[in-house]
Chains A and B, each alone.
Chain A
Amino acid sequence: MDTLIWLIPLALVMGALGLLFFLWTLRSRQYDDLEGAASRILFDDDRPKKGHAR
């Protein structure tokens, strides 16, 4: 049973980290445009190119 002393807090900490990560994704508005995100991933150059028309 000694292992539980370690494993349970470890599980809780890892869980809390996961939760914090979720809250961060929510705060940075990553769920606002799910359709757009699904399409964007297909394009390599999704970062707008700076510079001039060629």
Chain B
Amino acid sequence: MSTALRLDAATCEHCGGPSAGRFCCTGCEGAHALVAGLGLDAFYRRRDAADGSLRPAEAPAADFGPLAPVNADGTRTLELMVAGLTCGACIWLVEQALAAEPDVLKARANLSTRRLSVTFRGEASRANDLAGLVARLGFRVAPFSPACLKATEDAEGRELTRALGIAAFGAMNVMMVSVAVWAGGDMGDATRHAFHWLAALIGLPTVLVGGWPLFRSAWRGLRAGRLNMDCAVSLGVIATTVMSLSETLRNGDFTWFDGATALVALLLAGRYLDRAARRRARQSVAELLALQDGHVTVMGEERPVPAEQVRPGARILVASGERLRLDAVLDAGTASLDCSASTGESLPREFRAGEALPAGAVNMGAPFTATVTAAMADGSLAAMARLLERAEQTRGRFVSIADKAASIYVPIAHVVAVATFLGWWLLAGVTWQAALVPAVAALIITCPCGLAIAVPAVQVVTVGALFRRGVLVASGTALERLASADHVVLDKTGTLTEGKPQLLSGTWTARDLREAASLARASRHPLAKALVRACPVAPVLDGVTEVPGQGLEAGGARLGRAEFCGLRPDPSGMSLHFVRPGAAPVVFRFADQLRPDAAEAVAAFHRLGLTVELLSGDAEPKVAEAARAAGIGHFTATADPAAKAARIEALKREGRRVLMVGDGINDAPALALAHVSAAPGEGTDLAQTASDIVLRAEGLTPLAEAVARARFAQRLAQQNIAGAFGYNLVAVPVAVAGFATPLIAALVMASSSLAVTLNALRAGSRRIRWTP
């Protein structure tokens, strides 16, 4: 909680980040004034937490006008992805602030999907003002892209909710009727018959509608020639329904509609939770991707243009610190680009006019203009994306543990059921209808209810626990693959290292740093940003002017290149010089450093029994040094994307199951080929799409913990499957012998599901022993 009027607090009143005064920057001061002016300062009391993430950045670059189409009644609706919405107070603030605009008719934010819909009356260009307003409050906005839509608009999920509602509803009502039959031993024949029909009336549509998602998945599996868990479940449900119908017709003692409907409802509940957990992870990944702004400044265009729409031959302006999104050649002068995303090199490279610039590089120097050589769809990034698709297809379908169990289990259960039927019918000489009852009872009791929720339950809990630790598991089988990994391949730049410059210690004093960081606040240059990161409490300075590509100036003080500060040229590249009147010049040196937890994470992987190697595109001395510092024995330097992919292939041929971790465009093919892959949250969008897991948290130790948790989950799933088998060893003979009644079946089913679920909850325990 932040208190609104603590005058010399150590935190910023708006964003809650470290600050010397009331506000950490002019953006926050403006945002606070805006909120107070709207009379919405209750926000600061209502919000859950303030961690400094609400600091307003520069205005969004995109043109939101074309994103606000006209509705039938002449109003316009703008759809935005808003990052930073973390609690109810945030959606309250955003909605209220927008509603205060006179032309806004409706503003609605969705906390789960981070989607904001604003309906307003007026020109399309108003969309930019509205998006700008949200940005001024400190939230980052991006157009609600088709990828976001795919992750959030979840038609299948809605269908599942509907099926679950209907199945649960039907199951409860059938149970009500069934209990009457179970309890009413003195019930007349005619009444019982009427109750059977009543149960059929409710049970049949419930099974048909509620079971539809299961039947469809079973059918898909069968067509692909695979006997999956849904097959077993569907067969059990259908057989039970048919048998119950036969019992209804001949007015038998009991019908089993309650068992069939309860089974459907339970299975759907498991599936619903599973989907909800994964959906959350998928949405967070889509959010990270949407924030990687895909807009380009084209010369002659008033506003930034989406990268996909830029034609070859267009001249684009690349600002300092901006990522180049297209293949281009440099027009004039020189450019200094950080190519770590495409080659893995950690030092910026100088390019001369006429040289081809790699897409994905970040401008480390002055703004420059370049001529685009290929449209987005034909460029090198798109070619890499196509390569990924092919690699993913060859990864092949992974057979999950549940399906493995089902393929052993289903034939056995069916043989037992058929044998029971034949035994009663032919050997014991009862009618075929009567023989159907114990046979189907055996089927429904073995019916892998416990089995079918045994694995999803564990996965839901584990995916949820990892989500809270910043590990986003988006792929359905990623956890199982992670559990079986035995070798880790790490990329260097951006994965083992921070991927951004860090201030090195030097001869400067704390006061030097503070004064320089005050100047640096005015710039977007990567080194200036690194300086501010090193001293976040530096006060804001007025009257700072930036000379692009040279440095910053305020009063007599100058921060920037050596020449700019009037010093002898400094060829080392990664340094900022600082001169003030009346003080000796100071130099701040920077380097891309190992993540603080790199060595710890490598040690954790070793303890978990995984071997670790380093695979980098950077030059050998740097890679060797990083490997030594992180405690990695085996390393490969100067590996291009093809070499990286080849290394993964070679490891696969040796029978290793590789966990690949990388962030760059050059890692993407290797990521797609690996047994399981992970990308840091600040990695390139291509690497994140190619990966099964995205690490939103800082550092690599969460990934080591994820391996431990995945293994624990796998153990629990195995325990659950074994438990379900054990149950059947006892229950099946009872059913085969014809002693099972629907009441017994219901008890067995409920208790086994409960046992399995309780066991699964252990997967979320706060502390698992993963550091022996």
Whether B38 and A36, one on each chain, are in contact in the complex, defined by CB atoms closer than 8 angstroms, is no
Q: If the complex has contacts A48-B95, A51-B100, are A36 and B111 also in contact, measured as CB distance less than 8 A?
A: yes
**Contacts of B55-96 to chain A: CB distance below 8 A:** 87-89, 91-92, 95-96
What interface size band does chain A fall in? 20 to 34
Grouping DSSP codes into helix (H, G, I), strand (E, B) and loop, the B interface class, with mixed when no group exceeds half, is: helix
The contact sample of 17 A-B pairs, CB cut-off 8 A, is A4-B194, A15-B173, A18-B169, A22-B165, A26-B162, A32-B112, A33-B112, A33-B113, A40-B88, A40-B92, A42-B88, A43-B92, A48-B95, A48-B100, A49-B99, A54-B38, A54-B39
Q: A40-B91, A51-B100 are in contact. Are A32 and B113 (CB under 8 A)?
A: yes
Q: What is the CB-to-nearest-CB distance from A36 to chain B, in angstroms, rounded to a whole number? A: 3
Residues of A within 8 A of B95 (CB): 48
Does A15 lie within 8 Å of B169, measured CB to CB?
Answer: yes
Q: Would you give the shortest CB distance from A13 to chain B, in whole angstroms? A: 12
Answer whether A49 and B100 are a contact pair too, CB < 8 Å, given A36-B88, A40-B91.
Answer: yes
CA distance A42 to B91 in the complex (A): 12
What chain B residues lie within 8 Å of A52 (beta carbons)?
100, 102
Q: Kindly supply a per-residue 1/0 record for chain A positions 30-54, scoring 1 wherever the CB is within 8 Å of any chain B CB and 0 otherwise.
A: 0111111011101101101111111
Smallest CB-CB separation from B159: which chain A residue? A26
Q: Is A31 touching B37 in the complex (CB atoms < 8 A)?
A: no
Count of chain B residues with a beta carbon within 8 Å of a chain A beta carbon = 35
Tell me the smallest distance from the CB of B44 to a CB of chain A, in Å.
14
Residue of B nearest to A38 (CB): B88
Cβ of A10 under 8 Å from chain B: no
Within the complex, which residue of B46, B88, B99, B166 is in contact with A50, where a contact is CB–CB below 8 Å? Answer: B99
Work out how many contacts link A and B, with CB atoms closer than 8 A.
Answer: 77
Q: With an 8 A cutoff between CB atoms, is B98 at the interface? A: yes
B380 interface residue, CB < 8 Å from A?
A: no
- With both chains docked as a complex, state the minimum distance between the C-beta of A7 and any C-beta of chain B, in angstroms: 11
A35 close to B169 (CB less than 8 A): no
Q: B191 an interface residue at 8 Å Cβ cutoff?
A: yes
- Cα separation A15 to B113 with both chains bound (whole Å): 33
Query: In the complex where A26-B158, A31-B161, A33-B112 touch, is A43 in contact with B88 (Cβ < 8 A)?
Result: yes
Residues of B with C-beta under 8 A to A42: 88
B110 in contact (CB, < 8 A)? yes
Contact check: which of B96, B102, B191 meets A48 at CB < 8 Å? B96
* Seed contacts A15-B202, A18-B169, A43-B46; 7 additional CB < 8 Å A-B pairs: A23-B162, A36-B88, A43-B88, A48-B99, A48-B106, A48-B107, A53-B38
From the candidates B46, B91, B166, B188, name the one contacting A36 in the complex (CB within 8 A).
B91
Q: List A residues at the B interface (Cβ < 8 Å).
A: 1, 4, 8, 11, 15, 18-19, 22-23, 26, 31-36, 38-40, 42-43, 45-46, 48-54
Known: A33-B112, A39-B111, A51-B100. A8 touches B198 (CB 8 A): yes
Contact B88 A34 (CB under 8 A): no
Alpha-carbon separation in the docked complex, A49 to B88 (Å): 17
Nearest Cβ distance between residue B686 and chain A, in whole angstroms?
30
A46 contacts across to B, CB distance below 8 A: 92
Do A26 and B88 touch (CB < 8 A)? no
Residues of A within 8 A of B594 (CB): none
Contact with A along B508-552 (1 / 0, CB 8 A): 000000000000000000000000000000000000000000000
In the complex, the answer to whether A22 meets B38 with C-beta atoms within 8 Å is no
Q: Give the residue name and chain of the A residue nearest to B92 (CB).
A: A43
Q: Is B435 an interface residue (CB 8 A)?
A: no
Q: Are B162 and A53 in contact (CB under 8 A)?
A: no
For B169, give its contact among A22, A38, A40 (CB under 8 Å): A22
A49 cross-chain contacts in B, Cβ below 8 A: 96, 99-100
Bound-state CA distance A4–B190 (Å) is: 13
Tell whether, in the assembled complex, residue B98 and residue A33 are in contact, meaning their CB atoms are under 8 Å apart. Answer: no
Interface pairs A-B: 8 shortest CB-CB: A39-B88, A48-B99, A36-B111, A33-B110, A54-B39, A35-B111, A35-B112, A22-B165
**B102/A19 in contact, CB under 8 A:** no
Task: Answer whether residue B109 sits at the interface, using C-beta atoms and an 8 A cutoff.
Answer: yes
Tell me, in angstroms, the Cα distance from A4 to B177 when the chains sit together. 12
Report the minimal beta-carbon distance from B337 to chain A, rounded to whole angstroms: 41
The distance from the CB of B167 to the nearest CB of chain A, in whole angstroms, is 11
Task: Tell me the smallest distance from the CB of A25 to a CB of chain B, in Å.
Answer: 9
| Residues in B neighbouring A26, C-beta threshold 8 A | 158, 161-162, 165
Chain A residues near B202 (CB-CB < 8 A): 15
Instruction: Give A43 to B43 CA distance when docked, in angstroms.
Output: 11
Cα distance A22–B111 when bound, in Å?
22
Whole-angstrom CA separation of A54 from B162 in the bound complex:
45
Whether the pair A34, B91 counts as a contact (CB closer than 8 A) is: no
**B113 and chain A: residue at smallest CB distance:** A33
With a CB–CB cut-off of 8 A, which chain B residues contact A40? Answer: 88, 91-92
B111 and A33: CB pair below 8 A? yes
- A36: nearest chain-B partner, CB-CB: B111
A43–B191 Cα distance when bound, in Å, is: 53
**B191, A1: Cβ atoms closer than 8 Å:** yes
Which of B38, B87, B96, B191 is close to A39, meaning CB atoms less than 8 Å apart? Answer: B87
Q: Which residues of A contact B161 (CB under 8 A)?
A: 26, 31
A46 and B38 CA atoms in complex are apart in Å by: 15
Interface digits, B92-125 against A, CB 8 Å rule (1 contact, 0 not)? 1001101110100011011111000000000000
Bound together, the chains give a CA A48 to CA B33 distance in angstroms of 20
Q: Is the CB of A53 within 8 A of B39?
A: yes
Contact residues in B for A48 (Cβ distance below 8 Å): 95-96, 98-100, 106-107
Point out the residues of chain A lying under 8 angstroms from B102, CB to CB. 52
